[in-house]
């Protein structure tokens, strides 16, 4: 009787572990596909990355200028002049 209870407890403990391993295996396969997809995106192109870096530099320069001045930069006309 004790052996049967022990076997039942072992089976109940092993079931969630087995389910977790199956889910992990399923997600790991999808991760490989996701990495391959990311490598094929146009953002991996050097020209696009350079444009994005330049755009970010311009935004940071505008934010830096807005932080350093007491003027309301939201009311400026759109090509901003220094």
Residue whose C-alpha is closest to residue 4's, from 18, 12, 25: 12
Taking 70 as the threshold, does the pLDDT of residue 6 lie above it?
yes
pLDDT in the model for residue 67: 85
- Distance between CA 58 and CA 49 in Å, rounded? 14
Give 20-76 pLDDT, tens digit per residue.
Answer: 999 888 877 777 788 888 777 776 678 888 888 999 999 998 888 888 877 777 777
Q: Residue 72 corresponds to which tokens in the numbers above?
A: 């309301």
Domain boundaries, the chain: 17-72
Q: Is the pLDDT of residue 80 over 80?
A: no
The DSSP string of 28-49 is: HHHHHHHHHHHHTSGGGSHHHH
pLDDT at 71: 76
């Amino acid at each position: 009787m004790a052996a049967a209870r022990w076997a039942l407890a072992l089976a109940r403990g092993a079931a969630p572990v087995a389910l977790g391993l199956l889910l992990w295996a399923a997600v790991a396969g999808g991760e490989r596909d996701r990495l391959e997809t990311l490598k094929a995106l146009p953002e991996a192109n050097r020209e696009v990355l350079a444009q994005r870096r330049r755009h970010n530099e311009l935004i940071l320069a505008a934010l830096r200028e807005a932080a350093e001045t007491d003027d309301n930069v939201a009311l400026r006309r759109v090509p901003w002049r220094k």
